[in-house]
Amino acid sequence: MMDEATRMAAAEYVLGTLPAEEREHFAERMVREPNLAAAVAAMETRLAPLAASLPEEAPPPELWRKLAASLDEGGASAIPAAPASPSSGKGPAGGAQGAEIVSLRRRLAIWRGSALATGALAAGLALAVILRPDFFVPPPTQGEETDRYVAVVDAEGRQPAMVVTVDTAAGTVSVRSLSAQVPDDHSLELWYVGGGGAPRSIGVLEEREEAKTLRVGASELATIADAAIAVSVEPPGGSPTGTATGPVIYQGKLVPEPR
C-alpha cells in the first residue's frame, strides 16, 4: 500500500498537473519502482475514456512518411527489418516510406440479411489496402525508395483486421488476416471491380486461413487506377456462381492521392 503523498503524486502525474521538476523526478521513480508504474498505469486506464471520447483529428498525411523514415534511421542496424508476411515476397520495409492514404469506402448496402457468423465478422473487420504506387506515379527521383499507398478503412471507428497488398509490379495481391476472423464454414472472396465490367474473382481466403498471395492479370492491373477491390463472404471454397453470393463486407476504391 503506498502512502498518501505518493498516491497523490501518482494521481497528479496522471492528470498532468505535477510541476515540471516533480514530474521528472516522479518519472524517474517509476523506472525504479514497478509497483508505482503499475499503479500509474491503472489510473491512466481509468481516465482514458475521457481522452478516447475526443473526436478524432486527422494528422497530416505526410506524417507517416516522416515517422517511417525515423524508424529507418533509428532502427536500421539495431532492429531487424520486419519479416515479410509468409505469403508476400515483398517485405514491408522497402515500401515503408511515403505511404499515402487511398480513399476506401465501406459498403454496407447489401449487408442486410447476413447470417450470424458474418455479422460477427462485419463488426470487427476492416480492410487495409497497400498499393505499390510506382504504377500510378512517375518513378521517384533517384535515391528514393518507391512509395506505396496504405489505407485503413475505419469508417464507424472500426479497426483493421486484414491487410491487402496489391503489388502492381509483381502482379500479386497479398491478403493477410490480422485477427483470423474468417468465420467457420465460410470463405472470404476477393473481387476486382474495375473497367465497368462485372466483378472478377481474384481468389479466396479459406476458413481459418491467415495469409495468401493471389495473382492478378495484367489487364486488370492496367485499369487498377479506376478499380476497387471488394470482399464478400461466401460458402467454403468461394462463390459457386462466379459472382458474389454473400454480403459484400468491404469495397475499397483504389485512388492514389495527388502529390
Partner 1 sequence: MQEKPLQDNQVLTTLLERAGRRDRVAFEALYRTVAGKLFAVQLRILDDRSLAEETLQEAFLKIWERASSYERSAGAPLAWMIAIARNTAIDRLRSKEERLGKKSITETKTGEDILQFLADGARGADPLEAKALRHCLDGLETQARETVVLAYCYGFSREELAQRYARPIGTIKTWLHRSLKTLFQCLEGG
| Residues pairing with 36 in the sheet | none
Q: Which of residues 230-249 bind partner 1 (CB under 8 A)?
A: none
- CA 189 – CA 234 distance, rounded (Å): 6
- CA 103 – CA 106 distance, rounded (Å): 10
- CA 17 – CA 157 distance, rounded (Å): 31
Which of 103, 117, 169, 179 touches partner 1 by CB under 8 A? 179
CB of 149 to partner 1, least distance (A): 11
CB of 218 to partner 1, least distance (A): 25
Q: Which of residues 212-231 bind partner 1 (CB under 8 A)?
A: none
Which grid cell sits at 147?
Answer: 512509395
Nearer Cβ to partner 1 (30/239): 30
Which of 45, 219, 223, 243 touches partner 1 by CB under 8 A? 45
Which of 132, 136, 147, 161 touches partner 1 by CB under 8 A? 161
Which of 1, 32, 34, 58 touches partner 1 by CB under 8 A? 58
Nearer Cβ to partner 1 (86/236): 86
CB of 56 to partner 1, least distance (A): 3
151 binds partner 1 (CB under 8 A): yes
- What is the rounded end-to-end Cα distance, in angstroms, of the chain? 57
Nearest to 232 by CA among 195, 186, 194: 186
Q: Which of residues 91-130 bind partner 1 (CB under 8 A)?
A: 91-93, 96, 99, 101, 122-124, 128, 130
Please report which helix (H) or strand (E) contains residue 174, including its range: strand 172-177
Which of 34, 138, 143, 157 touches partner 1 by CB under 8 A? 157
For residue 241, the 8-state DSSP code is S
- CA 117 – CA 188 distance, rounded (Å): 12
For residue 92, the 8-state DSSP code is S
Nearer Cβ to partner 1 (16/138): 16
